[in-house]
Amino acid sequence: MKFVKMNGNGNDFVIIDDRKCEFKGKESQIAKILCDRHFGIGGDGILIVRNSEIAQIQMVIINSDGSYASMCGNGIRCFAKYVWDNHIVDSNPIKIETGDGVKDAFLHMENSKVEKVTINMGKPSFDCKSIPANCEDEIVNKKIKLHGREYNITTMLMGVPHTIIFGNLDDFDINEGKYIEKYELFPEGTNVNFCEIVDKNKIKVKTWERGAGATLACGTGNCSSVIAANKLGFTGDKVEVHIPGGKLLVQIKENGVFMTGPALISFKGELEI
């Protein structure tokens, strides 16, 4: 199997071209093998290239634990660069089919190379049935108690479910995310973002990802954090997000939430599986 290892702000992925559907039905098993950091390549997930009937190309996302993800913000930037570099798609912007619908990827070129990518991530939903969450009202600044500690949470669907908790990052252990991920309010689990407000135009975020654990970056989580911060009046609609793996720019517009960040190739290779 030929592959490319890529990362967006340290959120790393193994990308494989499966337009012939040779690995169909084996995605979960393959992801566990490839993402193992000792016996495989290592990654937070795999991105599979497939043909699409509704867009120019399709991206299938499998987390490192073998579970399916409908959307990944850092992953789709890497995916867009991959399909451009390999001449699979030759237009800019690129329309990419995901489990969360078709997303537009705008490529920023320098010396004929893709350096950054902007993704229209779509719009969030606070509807509990969409998230899904066991409640009727929106989860906005809702107080919960878990393991003897109180949290004020805001939860939405941004392609995948995300829960945001505001405070000083030094006051949180990222591993607290594993308990919130499986909190009884969320029947299918939730991603968890700890967010610190720096000023109206800047925030810091650390993310515990459902199905992957602590990661250096999470694009959908960064967008969700900006949306929540804006909704609660902490920030404006254009925010620089600082994360362990670097930084992203997120802007809220009428037609969606736009995220801009890097997409880098780590290495290429071939693996026997």
Q: Report the catalytic residues.
A: 72, 218
141 is in an annotated binding site: no
Distance CA 42, CA 205 (A): 23
Given the structure tokens 């990661």, which residue do they identify?
215
Task: Determine whether the annotation assigns residue 219 to a binding site.
Answer: yes
- Say if residue 22 carries a ligand binding annotation: no
210 assigned binding-site residue? yes
Q: Are 164 and 225 in contact (CB under 8 A)?
A: yes
Establish whether 152 is an annotated binding residue.
no
Contact 164, 193 (CB under 8 A): yes
Three-state SS letters, the chain:
CEEEEEEECCEEEEEEECCCCCCCCCHHHHHHHHHCCCCCCCCCEEEEEECCCCCCEEEEEEECCCCEECCCHHHHHHHHHHHHHCCCCCCCCEEEEECCEEEEEEEEEECCEEEEEEEECCCCECCCCCCCCCCCCCCCCEEEEECCEEEEEEEEEECEEEEEEECCHHHCCHHHHHHHHCCCCCCCCCEEEEEEEEECCEEEEEEEECCCEEECCCHHHHHHHHHHHHHCCCCCCEEEEEECCEEEEEEEECCEEEEEEECEEEEEEECCC
| Residue 77 in marked binding region | no
Cβ 172 vs Cβ 164: under 8 Å: no
The answer on whether 8 is annotated among ligand-binding residues is no
Binding positions for substrate are: 11, 63, 73-74, 191, 209-210, 219-220
Binding positions are: 11, 63, 73-74, 191, 209-210, 219-220
